[in-house]
């Protein structure tokens, strides 16, 4: 199977026609080998236009959704990014091409360990991983220029909004039902101003600040 052809086709047929324009983002999608981030038996479907299971009841998002979230982050190569929900590590690898440093947190030990070994073997040097509750953020490394949550949250967890730099952006699927709203929030004068992008479906964010009464927006 020629994965490079499939990758190019994914960019030409799924990303560009739906409005993904940033040259660096498109380049990252042409480069990162998505088939290495899905279970081996699903490699043939790695570039298809839908999400795939990655084990432990979790999923790798559809390529377009990964691209859309990435494009809205507006990365120039200088940013320190925090990702919550490492999962397969695909979004992490995409971010590592586009930002200066990526810090990514996964709460499930099995996934965290597998992905850490994989990313290490692939030679990524600007990625740091941690197995923990990502709703607490990564205080020792804060503040962050960008934060991306790749699981559905009812509210933006308070520690994460505190760990976001002034002028920084946070991207997440907001909502607690089966459908959420992809939301981009920007920190201006200490407050988050959010805009809604589109509907989306993600697995739920779990953890201390993932329940409604502890959160804030
Ligand atoms: N970005 C991933 C998507 C994985 S699905 C990819 O490209 O594959 C969402 C992930 O978020 C799951 O692996 C889930 O275990 C993780 N997750 C859920 N709640 C979390 C939390 N509080 N902290 C860290 N990870 C969490």
Average pLDDT score over residue span 87-107: 98
For 3, 29, 50, 159, 208, the CA distances from 32, given in Å and listed in that order, are: 11, 6, 17, 31, 33
The answer to whether 68 and 197 are in contact (CB under 8 A) is yes
Distance (angstroms) between ligand 1 centre and the Cα of 107 equals: 7
pLDDT digits (tens, 9 = 90+) for 34-70: 999 999 999 999 999 999 999 999 999 999 999 999 9
Q: What is the pTM of this model?
A: 0.96
**Lookup: tokens for 64:** 């377009």
The answer to whether 34 and 61 are in contact (CB under 8 A) is no
The share of the chain scoring above pLDDT 70, in percent, equals: 97
pLDDT of residue 90: 98
The answer to whether 167 and 193 are in contact (CB under 8 A) is no
pLDDT of residue 217: 45
The DSSP code for 24 is H
pLDDT of residue 200: 96
pLDDT of residue 77: 98
Report which of 68, 119, 117, 110 is spatially closest to residue 89, judged by C-alpha positions: 119
Q: Residues with catalytic annotation?
A: 61
pLDDT digits (tens, 9 = 90+) for 159-191: 999 999 999 999 999 998 889 999 999 999 999
pLDDT of residue 102: 98
**Would you put residue 87 in left (φ > 0), alpha (ψ -120 to 50) or beta?**
left
- Residues lining ligand 1, CB < 6 A? 54, 58-61, 84-85, 87-88, 90-91, 105-108, 111, 133-135, 150-151, 203, 205-207, 210
Average pLDDT score over residue span 8-18: 98
How does strand 164-174 pair with strand 180-188? antiparallel
Q: How far apart are CA 16 and CA 212, in angstroms?
A: 36
């Amino acid at each position: 199977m020629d994965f490079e052809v499939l990758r190019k086709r994914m960019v030409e047929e799924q990303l560009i026609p739906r409005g993904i324009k940033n040259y660096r983002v498109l380049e990252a999608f042409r480069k990162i080998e998505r088939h290495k981030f899905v279970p081996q038996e699903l490699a043939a479907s790695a570039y298809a236009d839908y999400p795939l299971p990655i084990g432990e009841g979790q999923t790798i998002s559809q390529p377009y959704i990964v691209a859309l979230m990435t494009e809205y982050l507006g990365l120039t190569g200088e940013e320190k990014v925090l990702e919550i929900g490492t999962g397969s590590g695909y979004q992490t690898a995409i971010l590592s091409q586009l930002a200066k440093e990526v810090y990514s947190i996964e709460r499930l030990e099995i996934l965290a360990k597998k992905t850490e070994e994989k990313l290490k073997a692939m030679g990524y040097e600007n990625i740091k991983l941690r197995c923990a509750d990502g709703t607490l953020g990564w205080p020792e490394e804060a503040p962050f220029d960008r934060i991306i949550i790749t699981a559905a949250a009812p509210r933006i967890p308070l520690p994460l909004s505190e760990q976001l730099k002034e002028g920084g952006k946070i991207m997440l699927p907001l909502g607690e039902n089966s459908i959420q709203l992809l939301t981009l929030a920007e920190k201006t004068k200490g407050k988050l101003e959010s805009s809604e992008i589109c509907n989306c479906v993600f697995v739920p964010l779990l953890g201390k600040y993932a329940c409604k009464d502890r959160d804030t927006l």
